[in-house]
A and B are shown apart, each in its own frame.
Chain A
């Protein structure tokens, strides 16, 4: 493998890992979507404060996910963000509302009232998850765009990446994308229930209800995900041949999974771990379900990214002009930039280490009503 190719694969893997971390951390959004479920005021307070101590991680991971994409595959940044305008704007809009809602919701003088901020959190909980799923769905089911780099020489119409005038609305209405979007949404809700079980103490009735939620949401997720997987594995796509020409291929994702058998093994392991987490959350007294489901879901996301982009697969297929489809090779940064960024990525384990350390310190004791009462800073 050439160095450039290797670094492209490395950066795609890093993006996959960030995507996996993001999906894991979407339990925050899943929890937000439960705020209007049956719960007492004190339970709702516990839910919000439990999530509120983690929302920044999800938000930061989303930002870093975007930044890493920009640095390593700028043509994706240029094409998808500038093209699927409405999709990304809806995602951004929902996260802007989230960012202030925890801090503002119960503060005196917040102008719009607690319910407004809670509805913002609900909005982000639903649309944030579904639309991020839709965005990832485009990795497989494509977008309506063309890429003509020579356009930059045309002063009257200089834009390289041109998208159909629907600008992402078509992706938001594509049932295949929505299938993944809702699978992500119910996964996030399942994970949220598992997180509450793990993080909130002394609330037996609440925990019992959360265990039911794990089962119901987990089952819906499993059905949606299996349906998505079937659709995906039966779908065709595009692949760059040895000369870099884009050619159509039926069952491309199935082929990728079979050709890269270790991914199939990881997928299977991920699904089993996720289901085991759901099982322990729903039927046992264990509070550790989130770690199994979280790890499993993360593994599945990594596999999805890998089969979307590796082996010359077009990870953003163009439905208008197959030759414009984006592959790791034709959309990446230069060798120099990828090398430089790879050196920076050595810091990632240190970052992960202090996050894990701080998380474990802060979560050593479960959140209780008593603790919340004595807390100076609460949401």
Chain B
């Protein structure tokens, strides 16, 4: 059992490492592809060569980043097989489809048109080149769509049923998978956050140029576009983020409770603005914070548009307790009940196998009925105690609040930058503004990473919500082997990140000494 736990932990670490590195590069690709396409569109419409120069400048940065995203993405796809072998069989019938569609629809589009983007300036017409740039941006977003559909399905498994004969889940409704509200929210939230990140990146680099008083005209034009794209992205990220939180409350209430550090639910639950968790908050569930600044009834209002609505806490969910609109305390299934039902489903599945071997049709029908009734709790059958279904609260809580706080800060930065870029006074020449712009680059990446930590740590212990815990999803490999590959990838990804950052910095520095707006 210890070996199993070690394999699970190292496999999780390896997947988390790959996903986090991947998400360092991908949001920039998502957003910068749009910004580059906008700049080229201006060039196409105005015929002004300075916009071609600007397009090429940002396109080069896009290219440097793109390669790292591609590299880490490859590992991510194959790790589902190499490290999560059981998962690949148990839900491969559903999960594999979006990955294949991603490849067929999106990856080839990216691969084909990105080559035209970089090498086609003198080989194809202006219109064809512009179309290729937009198609690359579209391909990047389509790629995000399908992988996020796959991810959303893990958090909200729909459109499928369990096939006991094959001991796996099979898809029954493709559109339920592809168009689930969780998937739609997740897709737009992730893609628009990429716009925000790229907008801030462009603002940051432009701020540096302004600070060094180089390529002032290029920097001002870029900053304006970065601010517009960033602000549009931020507003839409806020909107879809709210939608995501509402979906989480519906399909993953335990995650929401962890995000808010809410152990004891209440009618008219407060929304935490700033807080510090106690070291063992579960021991004082009524008062888990060292200190906090709350918005009274804010959580109930935000999630349910009703300041008096009951929001369940971690302990309520474990106990199956809730409070009705009339104020009555009612009990549904507790986690202990769900564990019993999950075990019942497992026993029924074993019975089904035996009945199948014995060709006992009555027993098959009885077992099938039992499995169907209890399958929604199948994953709980793997848990040893109800508390195993609680995600790491502190990590989820802090990641969520860091994301929200930094996001708020960046919203203000974007407004400020947009104001400055239109202001007739010389605000854009102020050093403090440049420093804010440059420093925002670090902040936006922290915000972006924190978002994914909330999504992925907050759903633990489930690899498929309620149906399969992480420790049942793994491959049969020695923990030493996974440990070795973890360190191998940690070294190589870090080395590549260092190289990418170094190349970008050098490129920006060298380009700043030339006329960026002059077409090369």
Contacts and interface: CB of A to CB of B under 8 A. Distances in A.
A369 to B, nearest CB: 15
B121 A376 contact: yes
B100 A67 contact: yes
A159 B353 contact: no
Interface residues of B, number: 97
A99 B74 contact: yes
A308 to B, nearest CB: 19
A340 B85 contact: no
Contacts of A347: 104-105
Q: Which of B56, B71, B128, B166 has the most chain A CB atoms inside 10 A of its CB?
A: B71
Interface stretch (B32-40, B88-96, B228-236, B451-459): B88-96
Interface string A54-78: 1011011011101110111011011
Interface string A66-93: 1110111011011111110110110011
A290 B475 CA distance: 41
B100 A109 contact: no
Contacts of B167: 149-150, 152, 160
Interface string A108-146: 111110000000000000000000000000000000000
B506 A108 contact: yes
A344 interface: yes
A344 B99 CA distance: 12
B474 interface: yes
The 6 closest A-B pairs by CB, nearest first: A74-B92, A81-B81, A82-B85, A109-B506, A64-B103, A82-B475
B247 interface: no
Contacts of B506: 107-109
A334 B163 contact: yes
A196 to B, nearest CB: 17
A374 B520 CA distance: 8
Interface in A333-366: 333-334, 336-337, 340-341, 344-345, 347-348, 351, 354-355, 358-359, 361-362, 364-365
11 contacts: A71-B96, A71-B100, A74-B88, A77-B96, A82-B477, A110-B503, A153-B349, A160-B85, A333-B170, A345-B104, A355-B108
Interface string B74-114: 11011011111110111011111101111111011111111
Contacts of B113: 358
B67 A100 contact: yes
A100 B475 contact: no
Contacts of A341: 97, 100-101
A138 to B, nearest CB: 14
Given A70-B81, A344-B104, A159 B475 contact: yes
A161 B85 contact: yes
Contacts of B4: 156-157
A73 to B, nearest CB: 9
A253 interface: no
Interface string A252-276: 0000000000000000000000000
B1 A156 contact: yes
B413 to A, nearest CB: 27
B112 A354 contact: yes
A107 B503 contact: yes
A152 B103 CA distance: 30
Contacts of B72: 96
A219 interface: no
Given A70-B92, A108-B510, A59 B81 contact: no
A375 B477 CA distance: 48
A305 interface: no
Contacts of B257: none
A85 B100 contact: no
Given A82-B88, A99-B71, A60 B472 contact: no
Nearest to B174: A340
A109 B510 CA distance: 10
Given A59-B111, A83-B476, 13 more contacts: A59-B70, A64-B103, A66-B103, A71-B100, A82-B476, A88-B82, A96-B74, A100-B496, A109-B507, A111-B499, A153-B346, A340-B97, A361-B120
A95 interface: yes
A104 B96 contact: no
A78 B86 contact: yes
Interface SS of B by simple majority: helix
A53 interface: yes
B93 A74 contact: yes
Contact of B476 (A57, A95, A161, A344): A161
B109 to A, nearest CB: 8
B517 to A, nearest CB: 14
B171 interface: yes
A377 B119 contact: yes
Contact of B123 (A70, A340, A361): A361
A60 B108 contact: yes
A63 B92 contact: no
A85 B350 contact: no
Q: Which of A70, A93, A152, A334 has the most chain B CB atoms inside 10 A of its CB?
A: A70
A30 to B, nearest CB: 19
A337 B97 contact: yes
Interface in B421-449: none
A156 B3 CA distance: 10
A56 B74 CA distance: 12
Nearest to A49: B119
Interface stretch (A40-48, A162-170, A291-299): A162-170
Q: Which of B81, B101, B122, B168 has the most chain A CB atoms inside 10 A of its CB?
A: B81
Contacts of B500: 100, 104
Contacts of B128: 361
Interface in B342-363: 346, 349-350, 353
Nearest to B384: A155
B68 A100 contact: yes
Q: Which of B1, B96, B115, B167 has the most chain A CB atoms inside 10 A of its CB?
A: B96
A182 interface: no
A102 interface: yes
A295 to B, nearest CB: 20
A95 B188 CA distance: 30
Contact of B85 (A83, A111, A150, A156): A83
A244 interface: no
B97 A63 contact: no
Interface string B110-144: 11111110111111100010001000000000000
